[in-house]
Structures are given as structure tokens and as C-alpha cells.
Structure 1
């Protein structure tokens, strides 16, 4: 009996033991982290804080002593040469603002100015500022803002210019330079009211002649009075001698 029990309980050769699977009550974790949206990822990358790099100590790098000078445009150089010739040859340079005048208005304005010997010039403001910054006319730079026009002449003809601009409402006079003197629009109007050089010369000559005649009259007054007194004295003495005889 004991041998029978041992034979049943002991594993036989080639026998596989019985396996039993046991299920637990907890479930497996199947949820994973949701990936970040592409736009949010870009926003996070852009707004990520990046600390500033520490500045290099002074003298760590060799200082650059060579400065590369920007080359000037040949067209601007040519226009600057023309502007320099205008300021050198013309005694009257007036600046006006062009407020939407048409090509026909500009042709008519040029024709009216041509009758008085006044020319109309157009130069870009960049060229004018570049020229004025290096010349004695640097105070005229604030006048060149927006579309501007130059009225130039070899002789000051302010009165003729103002009379022509009265029929051109699109042109607003800003200021100008007369005989190397900067004038505002009001100053140009006051200059136009001054008499001409010929009138000044006539007034000067008449004033000098009047002063000379007054000086001569003052110098001749006392000798003439003395002569009259002497003649009266001689006449009285002659009358007295005639009465005595």
C-alpha cells in the first residue's frame, strides 16, 4: 500500500506539473501621456527663457579701428554738384512746398517765372540734406520736408516771385536765402517791400546833396550877416558926414 501511494504521488518521468493562472483584481495601465500640440510646442520654444551671455571683459578683444565708408551713389554725387553750382551762382534761392500741382500747372508756372529770369529746380531731399550738412547753408535743412521746389535767380527778384506765386495756390513759400542771408516767408515778404537799389541810390544822393547844401548855407550865413552889417554901418556913416556938411 505504501508503495502504491508513493508511486502515485511521486512524479513520473516526463510528467509536467499542473500550472494554474491567478488573475488579480487590479487592471493593467494602458493610458499614455498625450503628445503636445505642434503650435503649443512652437510657442513654448519661442517663449523659453534664455539667459543673456556674460559680456566679455574690456580689452579681451582687439578694437576695430578701420571703419568701412559707405560708397556714395554716382547719381547723388552728380546732383550734389548741380546743387553746389546753384548756390554758388544764384543770389536768390527760395524753397516752396508743392501741394499736388499738376503737370500743366507746373508748365505754366515755369513759363511765368521764365519771363522774370527765374528758374524752377527739382532736387531730392536726400541730395539737399547731404549737401546742406557739409555747407554754410545747413540752417536751410528743415525747409526740405516733403515735395519741395526751388526758385532760383542770379539776381534777387523777390517781388516778381511773390507776384507770380499769388496765382499758384498749390505752391506754399517756406523760406529762402537772399545774398547768403536766410529768410523766412515773412522775411521774404518784407524784403519785397524794400525799394530797389536805384531808388536807394537816388535817396542817398538826394540826402547827401541836402546835407551839403545845408552845410554851405550854415557856413555862408555868418559872413553874409557880417557883410550886411558892415554895409549898413558904412551907409550910416556916409549919411552922417553928409548931414554935417
Structure 2
């Protein structure tokens, strides 16, 4: 019996391997339903209702509504007053220097203002909004990139760059950015090079001295020949006078001729 069973089982296995069906039906036992769907909480229902996606309504066709005109923003009275003050400052002052203010307290600012006032240099505080609205339409439009962050302006009617730099050395929190001196845009290095130039008084004195020397040399060269000619004529007149001797007159006329020539 066991042998037959083994043969049957082996033969059955062989037949199963040879003729395996493509699909097999597997039967499972039925399971009891133990879980039911619970109703959704009322707060969750309200939250889902509030956060429900509402698609946007389709926009109207172009031309269905009249075009809306753009409203021009009108400047306030304070902005117009500051712009007029900025324009007056740029017209009257020859030195306009932009300096970055890195958290300078009130006491240091007051001391710096006092030191600059000794050299007739003033500190001006203008909002960047006012400067950006004034500079693009003026000849100082190249100074626009300097007005970023907390900035102040050192202005004076005369270019006193050396005095300004000397005062800035005692205030390390004030950083020089650039400026405009005598209608010339200068960077930080340009302002430092400008401070090394001699003053106008020194240059004028050197120019006047050179012109005076050249003029004196020209006058001496022009007067040399007429003076020499007049000395010779005087000597000739003395020689032709009665009782005059050439030996006595020659030594007297020679020094005069040399003096006139010199």
C-alpha cells in the first residue's frame, strides 16, 4: 500500500509538473466582519468643508471691460521740500562726498559735526528715497549707486578734502564711499589722490613766479641793445666836445655800458 501510494504520489507529481494549469482557484474560509466604518467627526467635517479647493472662475475675455488707467502716485509735501533742498545743496556746494554710517551714536556724531564745522563742512541727512527720485533726472545721476543703506553727505562750498580726511581718521565707523568734487565724479581712491594735490594758492604762486621770471628776462633782452646804443652815442658826443679826450671818457663810459647791459 505504501509503495502504491509512493508511486501514485510520484506519478501525480510528475503529471503536475508536466501539465500545470495556468490559473488555479484557491478557496479560503470566510471571515467575519469585525470592523465597521465610523462616522466622521463634526469638527473634521467642518475643517474639510472650509479647506475645500474652489477653482478660480474663468477670466473675462480681453476687451470685455474698459481699460483701467494707472494711478500716478503723487509726492507728498515733505518729499517735494526735501528734493528742493537737495537741489539747492547740489547747486551751491563744490564738494559733495557720500559716507556710510555704521551705527554711530549721537555723541560721536555731534563731535564729528563740531570738528567738520571748524572747516566750514556740513553734514546733511537725506533719505535714500528722496535721493533716488532726484538724481536720475539730474547731471549727478552717476552718484545713484552710492546711496545704499545708512549714508550721510559731507558738503562744503569749497573743496576742502584734506581737512575732511583728517577729521575722518578719528571716526573709523564712517567709511568714505565716493563723491563729486568740482563737478567731477570721483571714487574713494580718486578723492585720496585729489587730497595729495597742492592747493590752488600754491599753484597760482608758482604760475605767477614763472610768468614774472619769463617777463623779466624778455624785458632785459629787449632793453640790452638800446641801452648799449645810447651809451655809445653819449661817449661819441663827449669825445666830439672841445677839450674832451678819449682816454678820460673811455673809462667812465665803459662801466655805464656794462651796467646798462646787465
Say whether the fold is shared (TM-score over 0.5).
yes
For structure 2, list consecutive stretches of 5 or more residues without a partner in the other structure. 1-35, 230-262
In 2: Cα distance, 1:104 partner to 1:40 partner: 58
In 2: Cα distance, 1:35 partner to 1:219 partner: 121
Match of 1:174 in 2: 177
**Residues 31-50 of structure 1: matches in 2 within 5 Å?**
34-35=39-40, 37-38=44-45, 41=48, 45-46=52-53, 50=55
In 2: Cα distance, 1:211 partner to 1:52 partner: 91
Match of 1:22 in 2: none
In 1: Cα distance, 2:89 partner to 2:112 partner: 20
TM-score, scaled relative to structure 2 = 0.63
**Residues 98-117 of structure 1: matches in 2 within 5 Å?**
98-117=101-120
Match of 2:86 in 1: 83
Deviations 1:7-56 (A, max 9, x none): xxxxxxxxxxxxxxxxxxxxxxxx6784484487359723x6x4783673
> Are residues 1:122 and 2:122 paired?
no
91, 97, 100: which one aligns with 1:97: 100
State the shift of 1:85 in Å. 1.2
TM-score, scaled relative to structure 1 = 0.67
166, 180, 184: which one aligns with 2:187: 184
Give the alignment's Cα RMSD to 1 decimal.
Answer: 3.7
Question: How many equivalent pairs are there?
Answer: 197
In 2: Cα distance, 1:51 partner to 1:69 partner: 30
Match of 2:258 in 1: none
204, 207, 210: which one aligns with 1:207: 210
In 1: Cα distance, 2:145 partner to 2:105 partner: 25
> Are residues 1:159 and 2:162 paired?
yes
In 2: Cα distance, 1:62 partner to 1:51 partner: 22
In 2: Cα distance, 1:60 partner to 1:177 partner: 54
Runs of 4+ aligned structure 1 residues displaced above 6 Å come to: 216-221
Q: Secondary structure at the match of 1:133?
A: helix
> Are residues 1:56 and 2:61 paired?
yes
In 1: Cα distance, 2:74 partner to 2:202 partner: 52
Deviations 1:169-221 (A, max 9, x none): 11101111111211111111111111111111122223334444566688899
Q: Secondary structure at the match of 2:205?
A: helix
